[in-house]
Every structure is written in C-alpha cells, then in structure tokens.
Structure 1
Amino acid sequence: MGTVISIANQKGGVGKTTIALNLGYSLSRLGKKVLLVDVDPQFNLTFALIGMDVVNYEDKNVGTLMTRESSVEDVLIEVEENLHLIPSHLTLSAKEIEIMNTYNRERRLEKALKPIFPDYDYIIIDNPPSMGIFLVNSLTASDYVLIPLELSYFGVIGMQLMFNLMSMIREETNEGLRLLGIVPNKFTKQTKVPQARLKELKELYPDAPILTTIPKAIAIEKAQAEGKSIFEYEPNGKASKAFEKLAREVISIVEGQ
C-alpha cells in the first residue's frame, strides 16, 4: 500500500513544487515507484514535467478525476518507468465550486486514488498555497505532511497556521495524519538570518522533526525552467546530494530503514 505525502504550506513561495518534483525523482531513482499528484490550479509541477503538453489534458486531469468525469486510469501520465503524474490544468480553479457542492467533498481525492494505492510505494501531492477544498482533500487522503519552509521571520511564525490546519483535519476527516517533518528550503550561509531563524524554529516547535536542509541554488531554478529535475541538470551538485539525502531520510522514517 502506497504512502501518501502532502507537500503543503499555506504560505506561497516556499518551494513546494521544487520539493515535490525533486523528492519524487529522487525516490524513483532509489527504486521506489512514485506517483506525483498536482492539485495546484497554477499547475507548476505539471508544466515542469510535461511542458506545453498540459493543454492536451483539459478532459483528463486531477479536477475531472475529483468530479468523477475521468477514472484514475484515464489521467495517469508516465514520466519515467518509476515516475507517474496526475496532472493539473488551467481549468482546475473552475472545478472548485463544483467540488464544493458535491457530497462528501473532502474525500473526493482519497476515493479517486484508492484503487491505485497498492500500485505505488509513494504518492506525493503538490498543493496550492491556500486553505481551500484542494488542500483539505489532499490532507484527508494523506498519511504524512511534509512542510517546506523558507527561513524568514514570517515563514517561521506562520508555521502555526499549518499546525492548526493539521489539527482540524485530524479531528474532522483524517485522525491518522502525521507530520513527516519540516524541510528548510532555499537555505544560505551567506547571512546569519537563516541560521538564526532555524534556531528559532527548533525552539518554537521542539517536537517537529527538522529534515534535510535544501540549499539555495540557481541550478534548481534553471532545471525547473527547462523541465528537468536537478538530477538531470546537475547530477553531482550540492542540491542533488541534498535531495537524495532527503529521500533517504523519508524512506528511513516511513519504512524504518
């Protein structure tokens, strides 16, 4: 049975798509079968993986899946042998109202994905930077939450919003939801601010696991702009090594290896 991980933070610009993309690639390179699910109406993950082909999936995307206009088999895209995608689409925002008015709306994604849970080791969901029906669906369907965080003052303070949302989800729709960890992203040692914020984060949330720090690297941005993972763009760089370390850490926590 696949482990479902939501990459989530209600704050924008923290690198959710970058983490989802490169963690997915890294897990697949380690022999895991991975499904990436894009539930962000901005469809950045989808565009990074299939480029302008996104326009061909108006009738076969995560939105049509959640409204039951498509089956899960219809919407799957093979990116690589061990890496598949359920795409988003620019029409996804229009589906939000439709989903809001359906029965059992919080479980639409969970029910749609359930038939293929046994086919994957990891299902990673990239989420929008807002608390709406798509994020609620993702957290309801997930075993774990992985929270990317840029180490700014407002980023650290804003973590409480995510913890409050997770608490609400546990009470209402998914009592088994767990925090996999926080991933400090875009980290630089060139100033003392990120290091000070990291110390504050540990003091504010002593029980929250702090996972591998992902460095700020131009290569990550360039790779994503070219529709590549960091492993394809700069396989021996510090960012590639950080993502491989993160993937091994995730496997260790989830599988106890």
Structure 2
Amino acid sequence: MAIIISIANQKGGVGKTTIALNLGHALARIGKKVLLVDIDPQFNLTFALIGMDVLKYEENNVGTLMTRESDVRETIVEVNENLHLLPSHLNLSAKEIEIINAYNRERRLERALRPVLPDYDYVIIDNPPSMGIFLVNSLTASDYVLIPLELSYFGVIGMQLMFNLMKMIREETNESLTLLGIVPNKFTRQTKVPQMRLRELRETYPDAPLLTTIPKAISLEKAQAEGLSIFDYEPDGRAARAFEKLAKEVVEIVEEG
C-alpha cells in the first residue's frame, strides 16, 4: 500500500514543485513505484512532466476526479516505468467552487486515490501555495507532510501557519498526519543569512526533523523549464546528489523508521 506524502507550504516560491518532481524521480530511480499528484491550479508539475500535452486532459485530471466525473485509472499518465502522474489542468480553479459545495468535500482526493494505492510505493502530492480546499484534501489523504522552506525571515516565521493547519487537520479529518520533515531549499553558503536562519529554525522548532538541504542551483530551474529531472539534466551535480540523499532519507524514515 502506498505511502502518501504531501509537499506543502502555504508560502509561494519555496520550491514545492521542484522538490516533488525531483524527489519523485529519485525514488523511481531506486526502484520505487511512484505516483505524482498535481493538485495545484497553476499545474507547474504537470507542465514540467508533459508540457503542452496538459491540454489533452480537460476531461481526465485531478479536478474531474474530485468531482467524480472521471476514473482514476483512466486519468493516470505514465511518465516512465516507475513514475506516473495524476495531472492538473487549466480548469482546476473552476472545479474549486464545485468541490467546496460538495458532500464530504475534505475527502474527495482520498477517495479518488484509494483504488490505485496498492499499485504504488509512494504517492507524492504537489500542493498550491494557499490554505484552501485542495490543500485540506491533500493533507486529509496523506500519511506525511514534507515542508520545503526557503531560509528567509518570513519563511521561518511562516512555518507556524503550517503547523497550525496540520494541528487542525489532525483534530478534524486525519489524526495520523505526521510531519516527515522540513527541507531547507535554495540554500547558499555565500552569505551568512541562510545559516543564521537554519540555526533559528532549529532553536524555534527543536522537534521538527530537518532533512537534507537542497542547494541553490540554476541547473534545477533550467532542468524544470526543459521538462527534465535534475538527473537527466545534470546527474553528477550537487543538486542531483542532494535529491538522491533526500530520497534515501525519506525511505529510511517511512519504511525503516
């Protein structure tokens, strides 16, 4: 049965899609069967994986699944043998109102995924930078939350909002939701500020696991723009090694814990 991990942070620009994309590829490369789920109306993950083919999925996407207009097995796109995608679409924003007014609205994604969970080792969900119905659905369906964090002052302070939301989800819809860890992203040693923020993070949230730090690398942006993982674009670079390490760390925590 698949382990479901939400990549989530209500703050935009912290690298959720980059981490979802490359962590998915990293897990697939070590033999794990992975389903990536794009529940962000901006559909960046979908575009990074299938480009303009996103337009083909107007009637088969994560939104139509949540409104029960399509079947999950017909909606999944094969990226490669071990990596599949549940795509987002341009029309996902329009589905939001319909989902908000639907019965049992918080569990629409959970129920949609249920039939295919035995087919995968991991389901990784890329979330929008907001605390709306899509993020609530994602956290309700998930076993774990992985929080990407850019080490700025507002990034560190904003962590409390995510912890508050997780507490609410545990109380209302998913009591077993667990923090997998925080991933410091876009890290650079060229200035002292990120290292100072990292120390502040450890001091402010001593019980929050800090996972592998992902370096700031232009290669990550270029790879995503070209529809490639970092392993296809620069397999021997620092960023690729960091994602390999992160994937092994995730497996150790959730499978061997």
Q: TM-score, normalised by structure 1?
A: 1.00
CA offsets per residue over residues 58-93 of structure 1, 9 Å max, x none?
001000000000010111000000000000001100
1:81 corresponds to: 81
- Once residues 19 and 243 of structure 2 are traced to their aligned partners in structure 1, the CA distance between those partners, rounded to angstroms, is 8
- Once residues 117 and 140 of structure 2 are traced to their aligned partners in structure 1, the CA distance between those partners, rounded to angstroms, is 14
Secondary structure at 1:183's aligned position in 2?
A: strand
1:36 is aligned to 2:36: yes
1:256 corresponds to: 256
Give ranges in structure 2 of 5+ residues lacking alignment: none
Secondary structure at 1:188's aligned position in 2?
A: coil
- Once residues 74 and 82 of structure 2 are traced to their aligned partners in structure 1, the CA distance between those partners, rounded to angstroms, is 18
1:161 corresponds to: 161
Q: Work out the number of aligned pairs and report it.
A: 257
Give the alignment's Cα RMSD to 1 decimal: 0.5
- Once residues 67 and 74 of structure 2 are traced to their aligned partners in structure 1, the CA distance between those partners, rounded to angstroms, is 13
1:139 is aligned to 2:149: no
1:217 corresponds to: 217
2:214 corresponds to which letter in structure 1?
I
- Displacement of 1:174 after TM fit? 0.1
- Once residues 90 and 196 of structure 1 are traced to their aligned partners in structure 2, the CA distance between those partners, rounded to angstroms, is 40
List structure 1 segments (4+ residues) > 3 angstroms apart after TM superposition: none
1:60 is aligned to 2:68: no
2:103 corresponds to: 103
- Once residues 101 and 196 of structure 2 are traced to their aligned partners in structure 1, the CA distance between those partners, rounded to angstroms, is 45
2:64 corresponds to which letter in structure 1?
T
- Once residues 23 and 173 of structure 1 are traced to their aligned partners in structure 2, the CA distance between those partners, rounded to angstroms, is 27
Pairing of 1:217-236 with structure 2 (within 5 A)? 217-236=217-236
Q: TM-score, normalised by structure 2?
A: 1.00
- Displacement of 1:215 after TM fit? 0.1
Secondary structure at 2:84's aligned position in 1?
A: strand
CA offsets per residue over residues 85-137 of structure 1, 9 Å max, x none?
00000110000000011100000000000011111000000000000000000
- Once residues 219 and 54 of structure 1 are traced to their aligned partners in structure 2, the CA distance between those partners, rounded to angstroms, is 24
1:93 corresponds to which letter in structure 2?
S
- Once residues 132 and 46 of structure 1 are traced to their aligned partners in structure 2, the CA distance between those partners, rounded to angstroms, is 20
- Once residues 73 and 101 of structure 1 are traced to their aligned partners in structure 2, the CA distance between those partners, rounded to angstroms, is 25
- Once residues 229 and 220 of structure 1 are traced to their aligned partners in structure 2, the CA distance between those partners, rounded to angstroms, is 8
Secondary structure at 1:194's aligned position in 2?
A: helix
1:54 corresponds to which letter in structure 2?
V
2:202 corresponds to: 202
Secondary structure at 2:6's aligned position in 1?
A: strand
2:179 corresponds to: 179
